[in-house]
Amino acid sequence: MNISNYIESGIIERYLLGLASPEQTEELIHLRMVYPLLDLEITAAELRFEDRLLEEGVAPPCELKNAVLQHIRPDSKTGGSSRTYNSYGHTYQKNTYILEPFWNRRISVSVWWRCTFIALTVLTMALAASTWHFYHRAAQLEEVLIKLKVPVVNSPAPSAR
């Protein structure tokens, strides 16, 4: 079998496009095991297809991006979202806060996460203050113990009468 004639017959392109018959597909799979050159040709054909698609591809209109973004976040001008949910007959509003850092990314933060963050911050500050207080109190007590253990050198000895 002449492998170059087989490659030039267009079977690889039909296989990649899904147009090859099941018999042709089985034959190509079998021949790939025998001839490693077919694997290289299949890879080269895939790259040719990709290059051609990129060259002839048409970019979507700019309005499509704006429409999709508007659909994803319809109230982007307000800075926050307020939606009404109905759960077991009860209606409530879910408020979120939008943080806009300097790199123009939007982060939606729930009210509960914000409260949790504030509580953890206060707890951390309280633990730091108590640690500082107890460290200084321990240092003071250590100084008192050192003064009690050291005998006074310059005091007169009590006289015995």
Say what angle helices 37-56 and 22-34 make with each other, to 10 degrees. Answer: 120
Kindly state whether residue 139 falls inside one of the protein's structural domains.
no
User: What is the chain's percent helix, strand, coil content, to nearest 5?
Assistant: 60, 10, 30
Kindly state whether residue 136 falls inside one of the protein's structural domains.
no
Average confidence score pLDDT of the chain: 80
Kindly state whether residue 46 falls inside one of the protein's structural domains.
yes
- For 73-102, how does the pLDDT look when each residue is reduced to its tens digit (9 = 90+)? 755 454 444 445 454 544 445 555 555 555
Which range of residues forms the domain containing residue 18?
3-56
Kindly state whether residue 52 falls inside one of the protein's structural domains.
yes
Kindly state whether residue 121 falls inside one of the protein's structural domains.
no
Kindly state whether residue 111 falls inside one of the protein's structural domains.
no
Kindly state whether residue 75 falls inside one of the protein's structural domains.
no
Kindly state whether residue 48 falls inside one of the protein's structural domains.
yes
| Residues ≥6 apart with Cβ < 8 Å to 46 | 16
- For 23-60, how does the pLDDT look when each residue is reduced to its tens digit (9 = 90+)? 999 999 999 999 989 999 999 999 999 999 888 888 88
| Number of domains making up the chain | 1
- For 133-151, how does the pLDDT look when each residue is reduced to its tens digit (9 = 90+)? 999 999 999 999 988 887 7
Contact 88, 98 (CB under 8 A): no
Cα 20 versus chain centre, distance: 42
SS3 label, residue 96: strand
Burial of 161 (0-12, 13-18, 19+ CB in 10 A): exposed
More confident residue, 159 or 136: 136
SS3 label, residue 1: coil
pLDDT of residue 135: 97
